[in-house]
Amino acid sequence: MSTQTVFRITLKDGIDGIQAFNEPIPKAGQYEVLIKIRSVALNYRDIAIANSTYPLPTKDQVIPTSDMAGEILEVGEHVDGFSVGDWVIPPVTADYLYGPFKEGVDAYGSVADGMLREYVVLPAHILVKVPKSNINFNQWASVVGTGSTIWNAYYGNTPLKPGDTILLQGTGGVSITGLVVAKAAGAKTIITSSSDEKLEYAKSLGADYTINYKTHPDWAAEVLRITDGRGVDHVIENGGLGTVEQSLECVKESGIISLIGFLSNEGKSQPDMLMPALIKAVMLRGIRAGSKQQLEELVRFIGKHNLSMPVDKTFGYHREDIVAAFKYVAAGKHIGKVCISLN
Ligand SMILES: NC(=O)c1ccc[n+]([C@@H]2O[C@H](COP(=O)([O-])OP(=O)(O)OC[C@H]3O[C@@H](n4cnc5c(N)ncnc54)[C@H](OP(=O)(O)O)[C@@H]3O)[C@@H](O)[C@H]2O)c1
């Protein structure tokens, strides 16, 4: 077999602009490996790119998505440390491997072709090997973008400490990954959602406190009540402009707000963040998806604690299934991660 089915997107057509193409299966170069992709995990980023609301550069006709887990089929002659049959995941961008964040030019699924394809050739030096354990390909694909982002938030600057209280906004991929990792790290968690049903599920994953942000639009007051007025040590800020004011209200003095998402930005203007942050000496830290090194640290942590990322639903590798998967995430029906499984 020399060809594969690849999906590309015509951005002006939104999610319906995802179309199948028949393209050659590439060959691995001397320092590269050929990977059979076994699962692709979706992120809100993929929806934002498809809907042209993503704040960073994109390329028309790009192969969407960044997060995959796969199996090595072929190893270039100068590759060390990888063998045929190894399970691997890549970071979100090929040129952010370690150290402080720097903008990459190679982010998969936005400017560089991503992972909605059956086979991909990648440079061996960017890959993270993952153990063949009870964690399946869907769960490994699910740790790439959201997992490295959460790891960066918790350990990229001021490390999370056991006993810290973390506020997680919503029950999407970032939040649920943040919940699973925070629990294993010994932190207390408060999670919000628009749905009581989703909050019940979050409790089953170990959430210590839950708040429905629809029935409690002043959720920051609830957070302060739960923490006896002290506030939380760390906020995983997924909402953006629509939530950050309340985050500043309920973070403790010298606490951290990790600025990760922009889910509630539409139609909102910038609130006054300067004086509340200054008065409470709060750290507002912009977070981008973690480096290869941070992904490796997370994979070790997952192995040590035998964690797996909750996958809400898995879709098939056909155009109509893929479009349905993107629309499912766009509608916010999911809890945690949504994957596309390839045989
Ligand atoms: N900076 C980075 O490098 C980076 C990396 C990863 C993700 N992100 C960003 O982080 C955000 C979350 O990503 P994701 O992949 O986890 O998204 P997701 O899985 O699509 O999460 C969507 C969920 O967020 C919750 N939500 C929506 N609006 C909310 C609001 N106003 N307040 C609280 N929760 C709200 C909803 O949960 P309920 O249904 O429970 O209400 C919704 O189902 C996105 O903006 C994404 O682009 C950024």
pLDDT of residue 1: 74
279 CB-contact burial (10 Å; exposed 0-12 / middle 13-18 / buried 19+): exposed
Model pLDDT for residues 157-216, shown as the tens digit of each residue? 999 999 999 999 999 999 999 999 999 999 999 999 999 999 999 999 999 999 999 999
pLDDT of residue 133: 86
Distance 224 CA to ligand 1 centre (A): 22
Q: Name beta bridge partners: 2.
A: none
For residue 253, give both structure tokens: 């003095």
CB 289 less than 6 A from any atom of ligand 1: yes
Rounded CA separation 100/187 (Å): 25
Domain ranges of the chain: 3-142+309-341, 148-286
> Residue 343: is its pLDDT beyond 80?
no
Shortest-distance atom of ligand 1 to CA 92:
3
Query: Which CATH code for domain 3-142+309-341?
Result: 3.90.180.10
Which residue's CA is the nearest one to ligand 1's atom 9? Answer: 261
Distance 239 CA to ligand 1 centre (A): 7
pLDDT of residue 104: 75
> Residue 58: is its pLDDT beyond 80?
yes
CB 172 less than 6 A from any atom of ligand 1: yes
pLDDT of residue 238: 98
* Residue 197 identity (one-letter amino acid): E
Model pLDDT for residues 183-199, shown as the tens digit of each residue? 999 999 999 999 999 99
Shortest-distance atom of ligand 1 to CA 260:
1
Shortest-distance atom of ligand 1 to CA 263:
45
CB 110 less than 6 A from any atom of ligand 1: no
CB 337 less than 6 A from any atom of ligand 1: no
Distance 82 CA to ligand 1 centre (A): 34
CB 152 less than 6 A from any atom of ligand 1: no
CATH code matching the domain that covers 148-286, chosen among 3.40.1280.10, 3.40.50.300, 3.40.50.720, 3.40.50.150: 3.40.50.720
Model pLDDT for residues 1-29, shown as the tens digit of each residue? 799 999 999 999 999 999 999 999 999 99
Q: Taking the CB of residue 81, how many other CB atoms lie within 10 A of it? A: 10
From residue 291, give the alpha-carbon distance in Å to each of 271, 281, 299: 30, 28, 12
Model pLDDT for residues 95-152, shown as the tens digit of each residue? 899 999 988 778 999 999 999 999 999 999 999 999 998 899 999 999 999 999 999 9
295: nearest Cα among 115, 183, 130: 130
Asked if 117 contacts 37 with a C-beta cutoff of 8 angstroms, the reply is: yes
Model pLDDT for residues 262-312, shown as the tens digit of each residue? 999 988 988 999 999 999 999 999 999 999 999 999 999 999 999 989 999
